Amino acid sequence: MESISSPAISPDGRSIVFSRGFVDVMTDQNQSNLWVIDADGRRLRQLTDGAWRDSSPVWSPDGARLAFVSNRSGSTQIHVMWVDTRETLQVTRVERSPSGLTWSPDGTRIAVTMNLHYVSQVTTPTMVMTGEADLRTPITQSEEFYRALKLTRKADTLLVRMPEEFHGWRRPSHQPLQQLYLMAWFEKHRTPASRQAIPTIE
């Protein structure tokens, strides 16, 4: 059984790209590839081929590229295809599955939506400390987590960004500032019980 989903009309109105789903009989898994058809229904062409799930195609503003979601790399990531050559580039390496792809008007950026599991359950005051050069936990993930916490309004939260710092603030000149942030945050949120257990140091 086959299915069609996520049709998208090209900016010039001449083509329609869509995801064509099928069942891989060898693995008994649902898969999908990208296809494109002329708006008048004359030419039908396959853009991607393989036992993976390519879906949610979105045209770039100039109609030269397609952004789409695929698990071809082993996890669900965003890929960009140049329509004329069908050259494809993976542009994300994220832990959560992206969705809701939207190109910026100038075609230089792609906005996405990613679900943050359990963020609505966070009630403890949370300070997010991140280095702007962090490769292990990219700053975009820290910013996403911070914004989600702000939206839930269930816990006080603060985002601290340190320029030219990696995973964990390693530069000696930055460590005193890190300790000041930590002490101020814990002092702000000390409970009466903790004040008795840990007396203030004079």
> pLDDT means per 10 residues in the chain (202 residues)?
89 96 79 95 94 93 96 91 96 83 92 77 89 75 84 90 82 87 88 61 46
The whole-number pLDDT of residue 86 equals: 95
Asked if residues 17 and 34 have their Cβ atoms less than 8 Å apart, the reply is yes
Among residues 97, 114, 131, which one ends one of the domains?
114
The span from the CA of 67 to the CA of 82, in Å, is 9
**70 and 76 Cβ atoms separated by less than 8 Å:** yes
Determine the distance from the C-alpha atom of residue 157 to the mean position of all C-alpha atoms in its chain, rounded to a whole number.
21
Determine contact, residues 77/90, Cβ cutoff 8 Å. Answer: yes
Burial of 201: CB neighbours in 10 Å, binned 0-12, 13-18, 19+ = exposed
Cα angle value 104/106/107 (rounded, 5°):
65
pLDDT of residue 201: 45
**Residue 202 maps to a domain:** no
Tokens of 7: 């049709």
Count of structural domains, the chain: 2
Q: What is the pLDDT of residue 202?
A: 46
Residues 106, 157, single domain; the answer is no
Closest CA relative to residue 89, chosen from 78, 105, 100: 78
Range of the domain at 74: 3-114
Q: What is the CATH number of the domain that holds 17?
A: 2.120.10.30
Asked if residue 108 and residue 11 are part of one domain, the reply reads: yes
3-state secondary structure at position 136: coil
Q: Does one domain contain both 7 and 107?
A: yes
Q: Residues 27, 100: one domain?
A: yes
78 strand-pairing partners: 69
Taking CA atoms, 11 is separated from 20, 27, 38, 54, 82, in Å, by 21, 37, 13, 21, 15
